[in-house]
Structure 1
Amino acid sequence: MSPAPLRVLVTGAAGQICYSLVYQIASGSVFGKDQPLELVLLDIPMMSAALDGVVMELVDCALPLLHKVIPVTDEKEAFKDVDYAFLVGAMPRREGMERKDLLAANVKIFKSQGRALAEGAKSTTKVIVVGNPANTNAYICAKYAAPKISPRNISAMTRLDHNRATAQIAAKAGVTIDDVKNVIIWGNHSGTQFPDVKHAKVNKGGSATDAYAAVGDEAWLKGEFISVVQKRGAVIIAARKLSSAMSAAKAACDHIHDWHFGTPKDTWVSMAVPSDGSYGIPEGIMFSFPVTIDAATKDWKIVQGLSIDEFAQGKLNATLQELQEERDEALRACEESNI
């Protein structure tokens, strides 16, 4: 007997990232090959024609797990009874736009969506915020979804950065992706993020070793490696003239897959979650940490007891400062907005 369908919401569903994302969800890559789905696709009214086109394509894929596709342009309708939500739609930064203007525009979106979650979604809903600035958007969403939706059920995506860092280490060490585990992305999904491999393990030559030994180039690990991961999105935009939609969609799927099924033993992943005070990060800040996830409870825990040297502490301080500034600007915008 098949399980009951999961109701999964994707916002910004007519956009570029979602064009890759919705197929991966509907095909079983995220929730498993025996889990039926109802896919709710939300976008703004002016995108309704494009949204209809996405629906037609999903129907034409003839996917056995996809029991229903529901295109909507009404936020209240979209969030009703959802089990999982991929919040991809956000105001993109346009040429000449100040950061405060971007934050103010996104505050309106995620304040409204937080309220819609509180009003209509299940209390157990798990939420990933993909739309940038993702950490701060998730912070605002969590603020307005509470208390019905626990802040622990809302996260922001740093899995793309995690995947990028893993791939860079694998290439430099001359191994495959499966041979690298436990890289860490600390902090904000921005240019201040800290890709950290001090605690990562690499399977090389049949035995596990630390990433520094496997790579054998400390200067690269503390310099070019960090810069490559931090700037990868901009480099892809320069090359494609479009954003990194395919890899972002894959990362969002990885994030929710691991939240749904749990992480393997002795393995952690990077998620931006509300801090509990770990590693000196003030409580409530939406900060990327290494986490493990229990398969039975679907609950995450921040990995504890990792040593933070002076180099790493400086990086953590910088990304924390940026997140605190973003939070404060976003909260001021919340007070000024009329929604």
Structure 2
Amino acid sequence: MSHAIWAEGLVKRFGSTTALAGVDLAVRTGTVFGLLGPNGAGKTTAVRVLATLLRPDAGHARVQGFDVVGQAHQVRRSIGLTGQYASVDETLTGVENLIMIGRLLGSSRRDARSRARQLLAEFQLTDAADRAAKTYSGGMRRRLDLAASLVGRPQVLFLDEPTTGLDPRSRNELWELVRGLVAGGVTVLLTTQYLEEADQLADELAVVDHGRVIAGGTPEELKAKTGAQVLVVRPTDPKQLPTVLTALRDLSGNEPSLAQTTVTVSTADADLLPAVVRRLDESGVKVGELALRSSSLDEVFLSLTGHRADPGSGGSAAGTGERPTPATGPAGTGAQPTTATMEGIR
């Protein structure tokens, strides 16, 4: 199967708000596909449709060859989902959480316990296996949440902003885990507002805004769409920033951007750098930094959407009133585990 996920013309409305306005996706098997977009772009809604948690109003989608509407049960058996917020039961231990998921999926007590211990070892949680999840750090909870989504050995894994709120070290650890999963043949669809995360993990990207895919390709292909290169200038004297802004605007024909004491401008003109050097020298501007580099994904995002990504918040469909749906393990396994139900499946 060349594509693990295929979607055409997905539409989803919530009252008068259109969260998805005809989304097309094609995710190759055994790759990481990144969905980029600001808050309210429709990323989470797309994931929930593909994971059979929402029914589309129009369009078609298949996951592992199964239709997400007509064959929802088969889709759920082949996927795992980690949402924006950890959905493990904090009153249960790490091993109890994973055993719970295994039992809900139909495994015997013995097999569920064996799978739980295996995953805890893979995710470096063995030492904390018998501690209540409420004692875990944020990074540990996310690792446990990801482990829970893998209990059923899914072929496709949906990660909806998995590193939101994590410190840099925990993010790097989670990235390594994702790389390992893909190396083992798992297909990953990742939604994120962290441009660095998309650059690090994604083989292909789709930029979503206002419920539509507005651009797609590899990270390098998207970077090339903005003009391929960015000129960066930082004068030693901040008082000369207006002069630098005027020079870059005049010589590039593009509107430069200012971040603190650094001015940047996109360009496809190979002669811009020497022209800027001459102009600044004639103006008496002393330069502390002068560089010509490739566009970053952040600049691609800004160019395509008109604003920068906001990595500091969550992200559900704008205006839908959606609340994150806890979903640990293969979608559709039901509500979060509770101590009462755990007693019945030990």
Query: Scaled by the length of structure 1, what TM-score is found?
Result: 0.30
From the CA coordinates, give the structure whose radius of gyration is larger: 2
Greater share of strand: 2
Greater share of helix: 1
